[in-house]
Amino acid sequence: MHAIIGGSGLAKLADLKLERREVVRTPFGDPSCALSFGTIDGVDVVFLARHGYGHTIAPHQINYRANLWALHHVGATEVMAVATVGGIREDCGPGTLVVPDQIVDYTHGRKSTFFEGPDNPVTHVDFTQPYAEPIRERLLRGAAAAGEAVLAGACYGCTQGPRLETAAEIRRMERDGCDLVGMTGMPEAVLARELSLPYAVLAVVANHAAGLGDSRQAISIEAMGAVMEAAMLRARRVLAASLRDTQSAAAR
Ligand code: HPA
């Protein structure tokens, strides 16, 4: 079964034919919300709203472990996650859709592993390629099928939030090789990896990162809202087409 994690601007999946909701409890606490089960174009999907259905959970307060554990527990075999980001690289302006291929993690204090505690041997997962290539490729094929332009390949820098960055922090991230900046990409990606759940992200650029383009003086939260509304519609089309791609791949 396919799991979709929705971020800001995607607390509900309009295209999801909802069949049931299920509250899942986990050894790591409660997920952000009840899981929604249903179908999109006949494909089975489980959906989770990362910030809760009312968008009340800040990025640093999300229980990423419970979220990923719950999806795995109910039988998800892969995850497509949607994430809102700021654009650093010049071609990543507001409204751009991107399937990143790398991560730099600037977060701190988040619970970022399942492998801890007295009964757990220390385990180091390989994370050289943080996203699952087959899921990335499917998102890119879905985008092509839906006729939506999507950039392939970018480095996602994950900051702690919930505040936005300073201009100097963005300049540093640019020097570090980051193309996008968001607050929720980690530890979500590594926890999926620890569970051997293939995982990839469809990033939606809401704004120029701090100090860049029209965010030179400040980031306009209002402008972000308008951009997101249009861009999320396109992101949903990409997701639906990616799911259809799964189905046709299974039939091949
Ligand atoms: N920075 C961090 N996270 C974000 C941004 C940003 O500029 N825009 C949307 N999410």
Is the Cβ atom of 86 under 6 angstroms away from ligand 1? yes
User: 2-251 adopts what CATH topology?
Assistant: Rossmann fold (3.40.50)
The pLDDT, as a whole number, for residue 245 is 85
Q: Where are the domains of the chain?
A: 2-251
| pLDDT band (50, 70, 90) for residue 251 | low
Helix, strand counts (H, E) of the chain: 5, 11
Distant-in-sequence, close-in-space partners of 196: CB < 8 Å, separation ≥ 6: none
Residue 214 has pLDDT above 80, yes or no: yes
The pLDDT, as a whole number, for residue 5 is 97
Ligand 1 probe mutation, 183, 222, 224, most atoms within 8 A of CB? 183
Is the Cβ atom of 181 under 6 angstroms away from ligand 1? yes
The pLDDT, as a whole number, for residue 252 is 55
The pLDDT, as a whole number, for residue 88 is 98
Is the Cβ atom of 183 under 6 angstroms away from ligand 1? yes
Q: Which residues of 207-228 are buried (b: 16+ CB within 10 A; e: fewer)?
A: bbbbbbeebeeebeeeebeebb
Q: Is the four-CA dihedral 10, 156, 107, 213 of positive or negative sign?
A: negative
Helices marked H in 77-220: 133-146, 167-176, 188-194
- Does residue 45 or residue 245 have the better pLDDT? 45
Convert the pLDDT of each residue in 13-43 to its tens digit.
778 899 999 999 999 999 999 999 999 989 9
Residue 22: half-sphere exposure toward Cβ, Cα within 13 Å:
15
CA-nearest residue, atom 3 of ligand 1: 182
Is the Cβ atom of 165 under 6 angstroms away from ligand 1? yes
Give the global pTM: 0.95
The pLDDT, as a whole number, for residue 247 is 63
Distance 248 CA to ligand 1 centre (A): 35
Map tokens 């952000």 to a residue. 32
Convert the pLDDT of each residue in 150-209 to its tens digit.
999 999 999 999 999 999 999 999 999 999 999 999 999 999 999 999 999 999 999 999
Q: What whole-number distance in Å separates Cα of residue 224 and Cα of residue 201? A: 20
The pLDDT, as a whole number, for residue 29 is 97
Provide the token pair at 174.
């640019």
Convert the pLDDT of each residue in 85-136 to its tens digit.
999 999 999 999 999 999 999 999 999 999 998 888 888 999 999 999 999 9
